[in-house]
Amino acid sequence: MEIVLCTIGFAGKTAQEFFNLLEEAGVEKLIDVRLNRGGQLSGYAKHPDLAYFLQRVANIAYSHEPLLTPTSELLDAYRDTKDWSAYELGFLALMRERQVPQKFDASVWPQRATLLCSEPGPEKCHRRLVADLLAARWRSLGHQVEIRHLVAARAKSSKTRRPKANSVS
């Protein structure tokens, strides 16, 4: 089985960028792996609005998967310390305790799904860790898995341009 496992964060993206990235990747289902889905800062990605927008804008199904979320204690510790290594170790231990990835069968997983969290990029986000765990497990079982991190195009240089001087003849 061939699976394209995407990840996306809503922060730092306009709704247009967010939905375009999902459509361009051909995503069939968005799987929300956030602990707090209804936060005021979530904007267009706030639950339950996001499920409605996904269906209406891009015909993408929505689900929430609590087994793939961090605990509030783990998140709070990371916010206090900013120690990514400690967070990563704690999150991976939590996944082992929850028997992730073993509880997720590739044969019932959508062929083009995306894991949603808030971070703009995957570098320091648990969605990348989840994607890596699932992909490694499914590959070991003979499936072909491609991971794609959907990120907005980087803004052009933020250098301020000086207006050209008008020449006088």
Give the β-pairing of 29-32 and 2-9. unpaired
Place of tokens 């703009």: 120
pLDDT at 153: 79
Residues present in the chain in total: 169
**pTM score of the predicted model:** 0.89
Strands (E) across the chain are located at 2-9, 29-32, 61-64, 112-117, 144-150
pLDDT tens for the 169 residues of the chain, in order = 899 999 999 999 999 999 999 999 999 999 999 999 988 778 999 999 999 999 999 999 999 999 999 999 999 999 999 999 999 999 999 999 999 999 999 999 999 999 999 999 999 999 999 999 999 999 999 999 999 999 987 633 333 333 334 333 3
Question: Residue 162: what pLDDT?
Answer: 38
Q: What is the DSSP letter of 159?
A: P
What is the sign, positive or negative, of the torsion defined by CA atoms of 1, 64, 83, 18?
positive
Among candidate residues 84, 114, 93, the one with its CA nearest the CA of residue 4:
114
Question: Residue 154: what pLDDT?
Answer: 61
